[in-house]
Amino acid sequence: MADIVITEFMDEAAVARLADAHDTLYDPKLVDNPEALHGLLASAKALVVRNRTQVREALLGMGPKLKVVGRLGVGLDNIDVEACRARSIKVIPATGANDLSVAEYVITAALMLLRGAWLRSDEVAGGAWPRQSMMGRELAGKTMGLVGYGSIAREVAWRAHMMGMSIVAYDPYLTADHPGWQIARNVSLDAVLELGDVVSLHTPLTDATRNMIDAEALAKMKSDAVLVNAARGGIVDEAALAAALADKRIGGAALDVFETEPLTAEAGAKFSGLPNLILTPHVAGVTEESNVRVSHLIADKVLEVLGAGA
C-alpha cells in the first residue's frame, strides 16, 4: 500500500521524486472516485490534493497514519484545517508558487475586457469589419481596484502600476506600514468599488466574504467598470452579476472560479449569451511553469515531513 497518495494532477518529475523516496500512488482520477480513495488511505502517510478533493472528517478518518496534506495551490477551502490540526496532520499549501500566474491572468483579463476586440473573432471571420465598435479602451490612466491586498494582489498592483494605472486597495488585515502601500491607496471597500475601472478580487471565501459582491456592491461600480474574480467561487453572487451584465450596469466580467465547481451546464446557464464575459475553469494559477513550481514545492515539503528516504 502507498505511503503517498496523490489525487489530482501534479508535475510528473515531482511525482517521480516522491516515488524515489517513498511508495507513491499517483492517480489524478481519484478525485472523482472517493470510494477508491478511501480504500487507499489506510496506509497513507501523506495525501497530496488540489482544490477538488474534499479533505473532511470522513476522509481523514480513513487515514489513521496521515502526517501531512499537501495542497497543490494556496486556498484551503476544501481542507478541514481544524480537523487536521486535531489529528496532528500538517497542512501545507504551495504559498507563493502560483502568484505570478494569477497576476498575469488578472492583467490579461483586464486588457481583454477593456479592449473588447478579442471577444469578437467570429464577426471578423464572418466578413464583418466593425473597426469603430471595436476601438475599446486602454489600461493606462485607469484605476485598478483590489479587494484584498495579499501577495497575489500586490503582484497585480505592481504590473498595473508599470502599465500606467492608479491603484486603490482594500485590506483591513494588512498593516498601514506595509511597503505594498507605496504604490496603492489604502481605501474602503466602497471606495474600491466606486473608483475602480477594473475591480479584482483577492480574498479567501469565509462567512464574511461569501456573496460580498452582491447586487448592492455591483450597483456601486462604474457602469463601464469590469470585474475579475480569480480568487474563490462564492465571493460573487453569480445571479446578481449575470443580471448586472444583462442590463449593462457594468462593463464586463471575467470569472475563473464559481459557486459550483466544476461548473455544470445547469449552473452555467445563467451566463449564456451575456456580452463581454470571460469564463475559465479555475486555471488562473495553473500554467506549465507554475505547475512545476507548485509541484516541486509540495514535494519538498512532503519529503521534509516524511524524510527523504523510505
What is the distance between the alpha carbons of residues 229 and 223, in angstroms, rounded to a whole number?
18
Instruction: Please say if 288 is a catalytic residue.
Output: no
What is the distance between the alpha carbons of residues 57 and 70, in angstroms, rounded to a whole number?
16
By the 8 A CB rule, do 308 and 4 touch? no
Out of 50, 232, 238, 293, the active site residue is 232
Q: Please, what's the b/e burial string for 191-221 (b: 16 or more CB within 10 A of its CB; e: otherwise)? A: bbbbbbbbbbbbbebeeebebbbeeebbebb
Task: Name 4's bridge partners.
Answer: 24, 46
Residues 6+ apart with CB under 8 A from 178: none
Residue of 162, 176, 172, 231 lying closest to 199 (CA atoms) = 231
C-alpha distances in Å from residue 36, one per residue of 25, 27, 178: 12, 11, 47
Residue of 19, 30, 21, 22 lying closest to 55 (CA atoms) = 30
Tell me how crowded residue 260 is: count the other CB atoms within 10 A of its CB.
Answer: 12
Instruction: Please say if 296 is a catalytic residue.
Output: no
Residue found by looking up cell 467570429 in the block: 122
Instruction: Please say if 282 is a catalytic residue.
Output: yes
What is the distance between the alpha carbons of residues 35 and 73, in angstroms, rounded to a whole number?
24
Out of 104, 123, 259, 261, the active site residue is 261
Out of 71, 159, 282, 293, the active site residue is 282
Catalytic residue numbers?
Answer: 232, 261, 282
